[in-house]
Structure 1
Amino acid sequence: MKPTRRCIRLAPLWVAAAGSGCGPPADAPPRAPEALVLARLEAADRDPESLAALIVRGRETFAEMECGTCHRFDDRPATGPSLAGVAGQPVRLADPAAAGGVREVTADRAYLWESIVHSQAAHVKGFEETTRMSRYAHVLGVEDVAGLIAWLETR
């Protein structure tokens, strides 16, 4: 008998039962390529109505994807790092190859894109062991990711 892949829906994501793997392969290109997301944000920067709509989309996506389960906008303990004022600010990442095991980057749009779409690429210092954020590369589209970034820039 040939084994079957059984996928189940948990929260907003499809998860494989018994680790069988569902959805596109991990190396498939993301639904929201960085260049398209950044271009969408740049276009919205020139049109206040478009930017406002994108911000609303980001707030809705944050709620729909249940991001607030792990991320907060205050100093209360959470599973994931605080997102309060993160956009444009320095972020300390765990990096065993860097001096002291820490590398500092700026949370610009490219960093925010990578953190959303390829969440396992880098871990905020202090969250190396607790960060279990799912990969959203094949779940979120351009408008979703651009909206999240635009909304984070207002927080």
Structure 2
Amino acid sequence: MRRLLLFGCLLSALLLVACGGGGGRSEEKVTPPPVNAELAAAGKEYFNKYACSTCHSMAGQAGIGPALNGIYGKKVQLEDGSSVVVDDAYLRESILQPDAKTVKGYPKGSMTNVIMPFMPELQKPEVLDALVEYIKSTT
């Protein structure tokens, strides 16, 4: 019985960590893992190639879309009233499904319309990974 209880506690702890917390709680800020400089440099090239800078600033000023410099690990408010910590998973989802979670104050649908022609390229793991690494590198 004691082993079963211990196993249950261990399993619960692992699930709690894997699911990012528990009880609806989220961390205010996560510390980004070390950045792969080579991958981030490729991400910067993709950021320019796919005109991400047309809507997203890397200098801090808001544009059509939110500024992305220093955003990794921070909590952002969403249009639906919830909030989310910007991490790899959130960035990937925001690139591939821009209207899934819209940051408060920004129009839904504008990013989808702009990136749709680039979607086959953006879905490539090497491109997506590089873009996320670039955004992470600006923290």
Give the TM-score normalised by the residue count of structure 2.
0.65
1:125 and 1:76 map into 2 onto residues whose CA distance is 15
1:104 and 1:152 map into 2 onto residues whose CA distance is 19
1:74 and 1:56 map into 2 onto residues whose CA distance is 17
Higher strand share: 1
Query: Quick check: which has more Rg, 1 or 2?
Result: 2
Which residue identity lines up with residue 41 of structure 2 in the other structure?
A: V
User: Could you list the runs of 5+ residues in structure 2 that have no partner in the other structure?
Assistant: 1-32
Q: Deviation per CA, 1:46-91, whole angstroms, max 9, x where unpaired?
A: 9x8xx22211110000000010000112343411111121111101
- Which residue is 2:111 aligned to? 133
2:119 and 2:51 map into 1 onto residues whose CA distance is 16
- Which residue is 2:103 aligned to? 124
Matches within 5 A, 1:68-79: 68-79=53-64
Does residue 109 in structure 1 map to residue 88 in structure 2? yes
Give the TM-score normalised by the residue count of structure 1.
0.59
2:83 and 2:75 map into 1 onto residues whose CA distance is 6
- Which residue is 2:72 aligned to? 87
- Alpha-carbon distance change, 127 to 152 in structure 1, aligned in 2, over 3 angstroms: same
1:75 and 1:142 map into 2 onto residues whose CA distance is 27
Q: Deviation per CA, 1:71-130, whole angstroms, max 9, x where unpaired?
A: 1123434111111211111011111xxxxxx1111001100110111111111000035x
Which residue identity lines up with residue 97 of structure 2 in the other structure?
A: H
- 145-154 or 69-78: bigger deviation: 69-78
Higher helix share: 2
User: Could you list the runs of 5+ residues in structure 1 that have no partner in the other structure?
Assistant: 1-44, 96-101
Q: Which contiguous aligned blocks of 4+ residues in structure 1 show a shift greater than 6 angstroms?
A: none
* Equivalent of 2:42 in 47, 57, 69: 57
- Which residue is 1:152 aligned to? 135
1:152 aligns to what SS in structure 2? helix
Aligned residue pair count: 101
